Amino acid sequence: METAPTFFAVTVVEKVYRNGVIIFTLARSDGAPLPLFTAGAHISLRLPDGVIRQYSLCGDAGRPERYRLAILVAPDSRGAGAYLRDRLTLGRSIQICAPRNDFPLAELPHPALLLAGGIGLTPLLSMAQSLRAQRRPFQLHYFGRHETLAAFADQPEYAAVRDYLVIHPRDHEIASRLAPLVADWQQRYGRFGLYYCGSLPFMQSVSEYCDALGFPQADGHYESFTPAPVQGEPTFEIEIFSTGEIIPVPADLTIAGALNQAGIEVEISCGLGICGTCLAEVKGGIPDHRDDYLSAAQKQANNQILLCCSRARTPRLVIDL
Ligand code: FES
């Protein structure tokens, strides 16, 4: 089984809250370096109630003595957002785990077109700084609220890449702007990488337009921390190994959702198949693995499953909770 991530404490050494965006600077209290990261990486924060949240690092990957996070928090936010806004103040500590990168820059030295939808800007700021340092051609296109972007105006990430930034008024502009932009880049560079991050509708729009334009899948890279809605999936059953109880999993629920509805409590943290909190043993049937937690070999063994996101390839899965 994959080892669970190790959490360690960092301190808030700077906090800026503007236009609904909180920009945190985190460091070890003794000033020691933090684990290295590469552009596009994220860290997990463990909140006092045990909930784990993932946030992209927006700072310079060449400065591992501090991590920089930018988090959008609605004024009426409760739970995690309210905690980060009101209680995680300057000088306080929080548990984090070492950065993980599921959204890296491709190693091929191709130019990079970065598309940010609102606060999806954060990993792309880090990528833009890295691309600039590597002298690779790139552009950063921002689609979203002016206020969100303005929150970064006096921050070092913004200053470092300001000259490469193209600002579009709203994220729905992506519909009319993507085709000419991609055509222009294809003409200029032939092959290039397209990196995008933002809200679910933004991601869906970019993905659909890329498909419609015949953009090579291998050159499209994206990340989203919002679970995709579950709908129209094949139904199946879960059998609880210890009791023999059968729980149907409908087309619009995750396994965890169906079990919780049936009164069988499943603990969830990320809800994205990243953290491993909802891992269960498989005693029968074949899972349809959709997580980023298990290794390829573990997935092939088919004896574990992440209940927050994976489904079944067989009509019934027997699991041990
Ligand atoms: S809750 Fe994090 S992997 Fe399922």
pTM reported for the whole predicted model: 0.78
Measure 291 CA to ligand 1 centroid, in angstroms: 8
Whether the pLDDT of residue 31 is over 70: the answer is: yes
pLDDT of residue 274: 73
Pocket test for ligand 1, best of 46, 51, 269, 299 (most atoms within 8 A of CB): 269
Whether the pLDDT of residue 248 is over 80: the answer is: yes
Q: Which fold has domain 112-223?
A: Rossmann fold (3.40.50)
Measure 251 CA to ligand 1 centroid, in angstroms: 19
Q: How far apart are CA 265 and CA 321, in angstroms?
A: 10
Q: How far apart are CA 137 and CA 73, in angstroms?
A: 33
What residue spans in the chain does CATH classification 2.40.30.10 cover? 7-97
Whether the pLDDT of residue 64 is over 90: the answer is: no
Amino acid at 232: G
Of all atoms in ligand 1, which is nearest to the CA of residue 307? 4
Q: How far apart are CA 61 and CA 129, in angstroms?
A: 8
CATH 3.40.50.2300 for domain 7-97, yes or no, is no
CB neighbourhood size of 14 (10 A): 12
pLDDT of residue 200: 77
Q: Which fold has domain 236-320?
A: Ubiquitin-like (UB roll) (3.10.20)
Whether the pLDDT of residue 2 is over 60: the answer is: no
Whether the pLDDT of residue 70 is over 70: the answer is: yes
What residue spans in the chain does CATH classification 3.40.50.80 cover? 112-223
C-beta separation of 151 from 70 below 8 A? yes
Tens-digit pLDDT profile for residues 259-287: 999 999 888 777 878 778 899 999 999 99
Of all atoms in ligand 1, which is nearest to the CA of residue 52? 2
pLDDT of residue 3: 55
pLDDT of residue 26: 97
Tens-digit pLDDT profile for residues 97-126: 899 898 999 988 899 999 999 999 999 999
pLDDT of residue 301: 96
- The mean per-residue pLDDT over the stretch 131-157 comes to 94
CA 152, chain centre distance (Å): 20
Task: List residues near ligand 1 (CB under 6 A).
Answer: 268-271, 273-278, 291, 293, 306, 308
Among residues 164, 210, 218, the alpha carbon closest in space to that of 191 is found at: 218
27-31, 170-174, 276-280: least confident range = 170-174
Q: Whose CA is nearest to atom 3 of ligand 1?
A: 273
What residue spans in the chain does CATH classification 3.10.20.30 cover? 236-320
